[in-house]
Structure 1
């Protein structure tokens, strides 16, 4: 934590403080704000409060433990969003007043959007592929804001090429970025108003990519563009109705054509995914039944909250990510939730959960040791040639 704090988080808030005209929309999950508080890395928290109070940044809502909202029970989705809001408001105070919402992994569905709107958020941001299911359907320079059909919820679409370019080192400085913008007709001299929407991890600026914070400095100093929060764009551009397709930031066109909107988290034929989701279903049912009968111990409840994190499915996908340790960590949390319910559980129910917990890990190790996981990773990269540059952090650094 201290390494990421020093290499990225502290640099970002200091850069923003140096350039008071800079504007950003920031998603910071409560798990991170709690860790910063726990390890007494409060300088960044204090700066975020200052930046939020001055309206230099705006915060978004999200789900606390990073679950895939379209794939979990609606009751759990609402709980995670509320937990995130409550914890961040306690730590960041009145500066935390999110109008918009960030879906973890930008995993979108109509049902997820309805949950977001129910909880009084005004807009959400998703990947451009959600617009029609095809990349490039939207110009990089956008001139409209979108409204979900038959809803008041506004939709922003993140540009994948420019976001990926920032993340993976195509734009190490402002000159390279501005040159690419001009090639897309986004120079100020072009005349017509428009905006380019990028979305990246904060860790990119100095942690994943050493020196990448220079891009922020160059852009904030530049007179060639101005930055804005997403909420500010609502007052500038006209609205157009849209009905996005279920998808994520890492979904590709061939996967959508095969009706696989969330391939890294729920892929047909991936037996580990199938078993993981069944175990998650059993854990969710166990907790819900126990809550209806009486109180559930906080630690047991937390096992389910944390156990629904998206990483265990991501790292079981072989598209191209693979890590048995992450798979095991997710299993341990989910089975702990089931075991923690002390009464009212049918023996067959518990037996199935235990079988799943054991066999998920055993099967994962078997795939690993036989090198089948490696083969599947290789096959994925061979059929998705753009992924080698878009979904890796460069040579020499594995995730």
Structure 2
């Protein structure tokens, strides 16, 4: 029997357009909730980001939150920890990393009455040693990383069954690796039916191990409308035990797996990377040294952290900074292939407002913030054009 851990990542940035949020909720999130209600015995793992929970609350969709609370009270779906506003944790100082994680824990407690989760999902699956140290310090027992954190490649050619989990070197935390091959096949609708899925995994089922899959929740119904039917067929087969696989929470997989050797995972994300001559991994979707917009964005974020990170809890400047650390503005500025000026500007505006409203920022810092904010948009439009380029 092959055990499958399936993590669905529910996330929207705090700057998401209200109409886009409405459509995604209608086509993806609400149908997924209906599936969870129809198959209450199904074992899933989900990442419910605080920024999305806040958006539902602010837009009057308390009914969505109430449905989540009822589903989670049944105890079959587990929620992992994450960073509330979806920053690239390996690009932040450790104090900001810890703050983002604690903000997420607070919103899970306030809206869903959840205590600290066992597992952790880093936004964009972005990982570094410093990230692991903070997660471990805060008491998480396992972290989900992409398989590229263990391998020297960002896209292995075949799915891989594991029989063990590993601990991170010299830290009391385990690491679980997502299988990118099969995750991508589902996310990009190369696998569209239970028959297709079985064709991929049947040769692996005699290995008596596990595969962990992780993908955006919007895969089902929003990005790929046909994939909601695929998920339903998974749940039917799992309920009837009519297949050679079984769905389990990832925490259960960690608990049941033997413990392998200690590892020192490599810096990684879910996206592709390249290595410099010095062997340093670069992740061009978010931080491309050859992209002048990225360089300006990271300068602005660094300035905002310097100016506003010590602002009092609840202050306007601190709130803008928390939200402005989001990864989306960098993704949409990559132009490889995504270029969405309104989302780039939305993230830029948050960081500029954080600095301009900071009581600790100097006049020079405020002038520099305004200059950088203007330059980010001007350089982006000059290099990539004024029109959006969707992924």
Do they fold alike, i.e. is TM over 0.5?
A: yes
| Match of residue 124 from structure 1 | 143
| CA apart distance, 1:138 | 8.5
Offset at residue 146 of structure 1 (A): 1.6
SS at match of 2:165: strand
Whole-angstrom CA distance in 2 between matches of 1:358 and 1:109: 31
The equivalent of 1:41 in structure 2 is 61
Counterpart position of 1:387: none
Partner of 1:110: 129
The aligned residue for residue 380 of structure 1 is none
Find the counterpart in structure 2 of residue 350 from structure 1: 366
- Is the aligned partner of 1:262 residue 2:286? no
Partners of 1:87 and 1:354 in 2: how far apart? 32
Q: Which of residues 101, 108, 112 is equivalent to 1:81?
A: 101
Match of 1:93 among 98, 113, 136: 113
Which structure's relative contact order is higher, taking Cα pairs within 8 Å and 6+ residues apart?
Answer: 2
TM-score under structure 2 length normalisation: 0.87
Matched, 1:157 2:177: yes
- 1:194-218 Cα distance to aligned partner (Å, 9 max, x none): 1111111111111221131111111
Partner SS for 2:210: coil
Give the match for residue 237 of structure 1: 257
- Pairing partner for 1:284 from 299, 305, 330: 305
Counterpart Cα distance in 2 of 1:317 and 1:226: 38
Give the structure with the higher percent strand: 2
**Can you give the 5+ residue segments of structure 1 that lack an aligned partner in the other structure?**
375-397
Distance (whole Å) between structure 2 residues aligned to residue 118 and residue 108 of structure 1: 15
1:252 Cα shift? Answer: 3.7
Match of 2:267 in 1: 246
From 128, 133, 144, the equivalent of 2:152 is: 133
The correspondence of residues 167-206 of structure 1 with structure 2, limited to 5 A, is: 167-182=187-202, 185-187=203-205, 190=206, 192-206=207-221
RMSD of aligned alpha carbons: 2.3
Residues 1:195 and 1:256: Cα distance change in structure 2 (over 3 Å)? farther
Say which SS state the counterpart of residue 248 (structure 2) adopts: coil
User: What is aligned with 1:368?
Assistant: 384
Distance in 1 (CA, whole Å) between partners of 2:190 and 2:158 is 21
Q: Does structure 1 conserve the Cα–Cα contact (< 8 Å) formed by 2:162 and 2:210?
A: yes
SS at match of 2:212: coil
Tell me the SS of whatever aligns to 2:24: helix
SS of residue matched to 1:321: coil
Alpha carbons 1:133, 1:253 under 8 Å: kept: no
The answer on 1:325 being equivalent to 2:345 is no
Q: CA deviation at 1:65?
A: 0.8
C-alpha displacement of 1:319: 2.3
Structure-2 change in CA distance of 1:131 and 1:98 (3 Å)? same
Structure 2 residue 238 is the aligned partner of structure 1 residue 219: no
Partners of 1:284 and 1:304 within 8 A in 2: yes
Q: Distance in 2 between matches of 1:272 and 1:206?
A: 32
The CA distance in 2 between the partners of 1:202 and 1:327, in whole Å, is 23
Q: Which residue of 1 aligns with 2:351?
A: 334
TM-score (norm 1): 0.85
Q: Distance in 2 between matches of 1:97 and 1:138?
A: 35
Alpha-carbon contact 1:283-1:335 (below 8 Å) kept: yes
Q: Deviations over 1:11-46 (max 9, x none)?
A: 222222222331110001011112223333344323
Structure 2 equivalent of residue 379 of structure 1: none
How many residue pairs get aligned? The number is 364
Q: Counterparts of 1:235 and 1:88 in 2: how far apart (Å)?
A: 23
Partner of 1:392: none
Deviation at 1:10, TM superposition (A): 1.9
**Residue in structure 2 matched with residue 15 of structure 1 by the alignment:** 35
Among 218, 222, 226, the alignment partner of 1:207 is 222
Specify which of 52, 57, 62 is matched with residue 77 of structure 2. 57
Partner SS state of residue 200, structure 1: strand
Separation (CA, whole Å) in 1 of partners of 2:110 and 2:365: 38
Structure 2's unaligned 5+ residue stretches are: 1-20
Contact 1:107/1:262, CA 8 A, preserved across alignment: no
